[in-house]
Amino acid sequence: MTDLTSVAALWWAVIFSGLYHGINPGMGWPLAVSAALMERRPSSMLKALSMLAAGHFLAMIGILLPFSLMFFLVEWEAGIRVAAALLVVAMGIYLLVNRRHPRMLARVRPARLALWSFLAATAHGAGLMLVPIFLGLCAIGADETGHLAVQALMGSNVTTAFLVAAAHTFSMTFAGGLIALVIYFWLGLKFLAKTWFNLDVVWALSLVAVGTFGLYSSTPYH
């Protein structure tokens, strides 16, 4: 029963982190609004959102897959989880200190939204936020499997990595797409310009919080 509760909580964390990323304009929903307004076609928004989702998914899976392949080293589980948590905390602190957006994002053409989304998610540490949650899911599976077939454990973790990335990306796209639709059909571009908000500090603090939680949950005495 405890494991089922833990699994449910971790999957909800995946979904809510996706919703949070989707709300953040730094993940690209304003570009979807701009595409629809410039081309004067609502379908352009859907195309833009799909490109943003594709880039975000690739960024998520690019971070999660290496950890899924490492986690078959069950005897190193605690060390891997601690290292990942510290990496997430370090990324959050770095973003708190360095508020400037990466220059490389400005050099990517707006038409190449998938590439822009991939680089934006990577530069902001969006994938890293999922790592402690993902490792928590793998740890539950590892406890149940024990030291049985390594290949089966690796395959399970790889599948979990894709599911986590997909669930997160879907919830992100849903949240960002909903905001884009409301602005495009009802509020307009002037509202977007007047009410622009920035979640950079909240983003950085959330990375620190998630990393700290991952560090706490990786200790055997929590």
Q: DSSP labels for 50-64?
A: HHHHHHHHHHHHHHH
Query: What is the predicted pLDDT for the residue at 60?
Result: 95
Give the chain's domain count.
1
DSSP one-letter code for 10: H
Residue 6 domain flag: yes
Residue 125 domain flag: yes
**Among 54-68, 82-96, 105-119, 166-180, the least confident range:** 105-119
Residue 222 domain flag: no
**Among 50-64, 119-133, 135-149, the least confident range:** 135-149
Q: What is the pTM of this model?
A: 0.80
Average pLDDT in the chain: 78
Residue 213 domain flag: yes
Residue 47 domain flag: yes
For residue 48, pLDDT over 70 is answered with yes
- Greater model confidence, 165 or 24: 165
Give the range of the structural domain holding residue 127, as residue numbers without chain letter. Answer: 2-217
φ/ψ of residue 146, rounded to 5: 70, -135
